[in-house]
Structure formats: structure tokens, C-alpha cells
Chain A
Amino acid sequence: MKRSSILIAGASRGIGREFVRQFLAAGWQVHATARSAADIAALSQAGAIAYALDISSDASIAALADKLDGIALDAVIANAGISGDLELPIEAVAAGEMELVFDTNLFGVLLLVRALKTSLMAGERRLAMAMSSLMSSISANDWGTQYCYSASKTALNAAWRSLADEWRTDGIGCVLLRPGFVKTDMTGHRGMEVEVSVAGMIEVVGTLKLADSGRVIGYDGLDVPW
């Protein structure tokens, strides 16, 4: 029986690293990316097929797409993301800070998945996924704060909705996943265990169909409201 294959971008630590571990344990062929040589070596040692990727670089994205040319991917999870400075007050949010956060959380994620379309088309499941957040939800926000991060994730939701509409005729499902509040470097190691969150998201991935394209779905199976 043919193994399912997935690419996890941003797999050096935290949620991405746990995705690698759990998908490998479930018998998937796992392609994974990181930026540093040490992290790439660690991913290889763990059993993944590892590549270098800097999602903020168009050349790096193109190089990865070249390496994956001819390789079928059932799924891609563009997990790369940064928080930026979450403590900045409104008046201190500069153009450079906003662009830095959007460059990774939206531009890089969207351009990466676009570059891997050929590999997704060669796969059977055809799932283009990235990581959203409850902070992306405008209607749920009654607390303000975290301007660049939350706005970047709202923008990602909108872009993925457009991508879902464009790629539906190709049979590619475009879904965003919400990991919940997880113990990672980004959250100061507060929240739920990463194993729980990732197990929940993998369960969601296992149920996805083309009809789910355009949704933002949490690790708990619940939709994130716009």
C-alpha cells in the first residue's frame, strides 16, 4: 500500500516538530524543512526527508520547489510563523514591524503553497494547509492587543478563503488549522501540551474532504469564526 506523504514547513521545533514526529509514527512519508543545518540534520535523524527553507526568501522557496519536482505530496502544512513583538502599543507599530510579521505569516506561507501546487496535484489527497489562530477571528476579539500578529492571521484566513475558491476546481482543499494555546517558545511555554494539540489537528486532517475547503478548523474540530 502506498504511503501518504506530507511536507511540514517550519519543523525545527514546537508544533512543526511534533507534526513530524506524529506523522512519522502514523506511517506517513514526511518531508520537513528548517532553516539551520543543525535543525535539518536533526529532522533527518528523526526519519524525515529534510530540506533547507527560509520562507521569507523567494529564492529559497523556488529551490525547495525544484527539489520536490516530480515528488507527489498528499498534503502540505505551512507551519512557519512568527509572533513579532506582541507587547507593542498601537502608536509604536511601525511599517517595518508589520511587514516583518506579514512577510512570514502571510506572504511566505501563500507563496510556498503556490510553489508546491504541482506536487500537490500529483498527490491523492491534495490538501494545502497552514496555521491560523483564534487571534485571527475578528468576531471573537473583544480584547484588542497583538496587532500585527492577529491582523496577519486574519489576512491569512482571507487569503486562504480566496485560494480555496481558486483551487477547488483542481481538487485541492485549502484548510487552515488552529492549534489552540500550546506550550511553545511563542507562548512562553504556557498552555496545553503540544502532543495534544497536534494529535487533535492530525485527527482533523484525517477527516478532511474537498467540501471542507475554505474552513478554519481547530485542533478540537470546531470552526474558528471569521
Chain B
Amino acid sequence: MVRVVIAGDGPLAAALADWYHQAGANVTELSFNRELEPQALAVAGGIDLLVVADSFEPEPGSVHSIDRDALGASLFRLTFLPFRVAALLQPELVAVNGRAVLLSRSDARMDLPDGVGRYLERPFRSASHALWRCLSIEWRDAGVSVGLIAAGSGATPSIAALTDAIGNRDESRFPLEFTDTSGSILGW
């Protein structure tokens, strides 16, 4: 039976967990709470697929509306936790040549204008994209495939299209690129 771990909170994570469960996978859900580390460390037996699908979405606003605490909270949720959960689960991914996929948003791209002030989101998603690019490079020799997919921005994505994209282990793209659900490469 295929072993799938869905990490993160929100409707997207729940929908993906349900989809993989219906498809017959052995699904483990990891919430981004204080139990994350012990629960991640308790996962054993190999992981075929890790999907980080958190729905944290801070409010945009002027640079004058942000403070250090809000910046720190976004760093923790959007950058640190996805990287951390992948790091914790790396031995189980290596054990079965698994795949780790981070779901992000297309409007996190730096090559697009930011008309609303995404100071609490875009820097931290971009940082996360940078870190997952590092993972794709450093874990390749260990047999772990790494993906980064724009799950949409605002509208609920098609789960069928998303799971197709998640499962597409296209090794010709190395290092990691940021793609949409059709497989088209997006800018950074």
C-alpha cells in the first residue's frame, strides 16, 4: 500500500488526505501544531509521498501595517515548518525513494508585480521555494524527488489536476522548477 503523508492545515490538506484515502493509500496527516515534531518522528516504514499543503494566508497590506511579530509568525509557518517537516521525514523518504512536494501559490512569484502588499506572504513563500530548490539538489543522490507546484491563488484548485501534477515525477527538470498543475514552468 502506498504511504502518503499530508502536512499542514486547512481545506486543501483535508481534501488531499481524503482523495488519497479514497484512492487506497495509507494516509498520515500532520498538523502544523506543537505536536508536529514528535508526530513526524513517529512516522516509520517509508514514505512514498509527502505533500505539504498548508492554507496559511496572511492578510496583505501596506508596509506600514506590519511588525516584527507578524513577520516572525509568517516565517515560522510559511518557511520554517515546511522545511522542517521535510527534514524530519527525509530518512523515511530515502528508504523508499519517495517524493516530497510543496504546494505554493502562483502569486508568490517575485517576477510579478505586487499590487496589494504581500509582505507577510511573498517573502516567506519565496524563501520556501529557495529552500525546496536546495532540497531537490541535496536529496537527488539519495533518490528523493522534490516538487514545487502552484496550487492556485484564491480559488480552490481541482484536486484531480493537482494530484496528477503531484504524482508527475519528471526527473528531466533538475534542479527544481516552480510549475503549475499542467506542468508549465512558472517564474520565481
A binds B: yes
> B56 an interface residue at 8 Å Cβ cutoff?
no
SS of B interface (majority): helix
CB distance from B32 to the nearest CB of A (A): 12
Return the chain B residue nearest A108 by Cβ.
B68
> Could you mark each residue 152-183 of chain A with 1 if its beta carbon is under 8 Å from any beta carbon of chain B, else 0?
10111111011101100000000000000000
A-B contacts, CB under 8 A, total: 123
Q: Which of B71, B90, B109, B117 contacts A107 (CB 8 A)?
A: B71
Q: Which of B111, B114, B130, B188 contacts A162 (CB 8 A)?
A: B114
Return the chain B residue nearest A101 by Cβ.
B75
Using C-beta atoms within 8 Å of the partner chain, give the interface range for chain A. Answer: 35 or more
CB distance from A218 to the nearest CB of B (A): 17
> B135 an interface residue at 8 Å Cβ cutoff?
yes
Sampled A-B contacts (14; CB under 8 Å)? A93-B83, A93-B87, A98-B80, A141-B137, A142-B175, A145-B134, A147-B131, A151-B127, A151-B130, A154-B123, A154-B129, A162-B117, A162-B118, A163-B63
* 11 extra A-B contacts, CB within 8 A, seeds A58-B67, A158-B127, A162-B114: A91-B90, A102-B75, A103-B72, A138-B133, A144-B135, A147-B134, A151-B127, A154-B129, A156-B123, A158-B123, A158-B125
A-B pairs, top 4 by smallest CB distance, nearest first, are A155-B123, A151-B127, A226-B188, A158-B126
Instruction: List chain A positions with a Cβ less than 8 A from chain B.
Output: 58, 90-91, 93, 95, 98-99, 102-103, 106-107, 110-111, 114, 136, 138-139, 141-145, 147, 150-152, 154-159, 161-163, 165-166, 226
